């Protein structure tokens, strides 16, 4: 998978996010997902929480909640979160953007449009498009016993763990996806570097 087709670039903390963020708990995840579901907005968990819901256990703390959302639902989604004190702190649709509240909870949104095959097209900061395969939206997992939509293990591995310098947490997530679901590592990342195993 070419580096320009990676979705990770916009999820790295900006200068203000790292200082202000508080961890997004499992309870926070359920609260946000339920809010959108009650209002007819479909979202798919991505990133760290996306991996943990696939594993059906929380393996680490998460500084934010990464969501893939249809671009057409972004205005309603932002309005719903604004009612709960979330405001824009980074980026803006149609590209990735981050919303945060006064408690320091962060929601990182990756808006997508749909092509004729049902693939999700995400416009990255560099202006290039990243394609989430239609099959990638079939993931299901759970958090606090609640079933939620998420990207599949294959999509998490191939799109969400490429195109940037991997850290220890990334390698651990990749190992967990490989061990639990048998998905192949991205090319060039078949094993963790020395000191991370």
- Into which CATH architecture does domain 3-180 fall? 2-Layer Sandwich (3.30)
Enumerate the β-bridge partners of residue 109: 67, 97
pTM for the predicted model, two decimal places:
0.85
Pick from 139, 144, 193: which is nearest to 166 by CA? Answer: 193
d(CA 89, CA 87): 6
d(CA 96, CA 112): 9
Q: What is the pLDDT along the chain (197 residues), one digit of tens a residue?
A: 333 444 444 334 344 444 457 999 999 999 999 999 999 999 999 999 999 999 999 999 999 999 999 999 999 999 999 999 999 999 999 999 999 999 999 999 999 999 999 999 999 888 889 999 999 999 999 999 999 999 999 999 987 655 567 788 888 999 999 999 999 988 776 655 545 44
């Amino acid at each position: 998978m070419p580096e320009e087709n990676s979705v990770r670039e916009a999820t790295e903390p900006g200068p203000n996010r790292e200082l202000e963020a508080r961890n997004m708990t499992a309870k926070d995840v359920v609260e946000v997902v339920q809010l959108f579901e009650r209002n007819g907005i479909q979202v798919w968990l991505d990133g760290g929480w996306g991996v943990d819901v696939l594993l059906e256990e929380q393996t680490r703390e998460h500084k934010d909640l990464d969501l893939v959302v249809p671009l057409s639902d972004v205005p309603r989604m932002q309005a719903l979160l604004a009612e709960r004190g979330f405001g824009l702190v980074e980026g803006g649709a149609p590209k990735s953007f981050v919303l945060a509240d006064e408690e320091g909870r962060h929601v990182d949104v990756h808006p997508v449009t749909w092509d004729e095959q049902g693939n999700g097209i995400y416009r990255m900061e560099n202006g290039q498009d990243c394609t989430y395969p239609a099959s990638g939206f079939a993931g299901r997992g759970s958090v606090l016993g609640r079933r939620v939509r998420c990207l599949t293990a294959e999509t998490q591995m191939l799109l969400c763990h490429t195109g940037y310098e991997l850290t220890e947490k990334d390698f651990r997530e990749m190992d967990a996806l490989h061990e639990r679901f048998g998905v192949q590592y991205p090319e060039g990342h078949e094993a963790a570097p020395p000191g991370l195993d």
